[in-house]
Amino acid sequence: MAALRSDTAAPAQPDRAGDGPGAVRLRVLRWRDARSRPLDDWLAEEVPVALQYNGVSHAVMLATPLDLEDFALGFSLSEGIIAEPGELYDCEVLREPRGITLQLEVATRCFEGLRERRRSLAGRTGCGLCGTDSLDQALRPVPPLAPQAGSRPVASRAIARALRALRARQPLNELTGSVHAAGWCDAEGRLLLLREDVGRHNALDKLIGALARAGADAGSGFMVVTSRASVEMVQKAAQARVPLFVAVSAPTALAVRTARDAGMSLVGLARGDDLVIYSGEQRIALEASPSPSRSLIPT
């Protein structure tokens, strides 16, 4: 597995600040304490990103224009367009005045399968299934996760450790206050990879792509996200073969049913030392904190 940075490293600096692709500085007027004053504020960028496969338009998503190669690969994998990273032959990023086009070249077999699906997405922030033209496509089955021989349960303290690291390692959100993050951690809760985006599912796609590009074994760790766990996010994580998915907000009922069908462990309302296990409790070892916080589950 490729070497990845852990949460013991110095927090990432917002080097994409300034009038760069991640955030822009704009003049605003703030009203506070019954006084107004002009000031400069940082706002996250959000641009249309079109994905073209072998010259054919497939999807347009509104996304933060960072880590686009990760996004292209992760989207292709999590949507089942390609089965492995090697089936994406090339990714060319074309920046235009009105947005960005990702020109992707995939294996002929993958492109033929994509054409058969006849799927056209019109994406916008917070929407992961827009334009899907059939119920079968919206609720596509994911292959069940096979038990990993010799794997030990993830301690609840490791999840709490991951959540603390997640809060500390979001430079773009610290700057703008308006983006989501998705992180991948090892079994001890060390945060090794993180991606940010205005769209929660875009951040997850970027993370999946980054894992694939790093040659990491996604099944050896778990994912944490700063959003709720919706069904499309569970589908994407299961497609990436991630056994444990942790969200700071609650999942939907459909997300829980999908996780159970896939044999995935799904945790929601994970805040501090508290969490709720919705599926796959056998993968999580609950440990009492030295100073336990109030449980999120009513007694």
- Residues identified as active-site: 127
**Which conformational region is residue 177 in: left (phi greater than 0), alpha (psi within -120 to 50 degrees), or beta?**
left
Amino acid at 89: Y
Question: Residue 233's closest CA among 191, 198, 209, 205?
Answer: 205
Helix axis angle for 200-214 and 68-78, nearest 10°, is 90
- For 60-125, the DSSP string reads EEEE-SSSHHHHHHHHHHHTTS-SSGGGEEEEEEEEETTEEEEEEEE-HHHHHHHHHHT--EE--T
What's the Rg (C-alpha) of the chain? 20
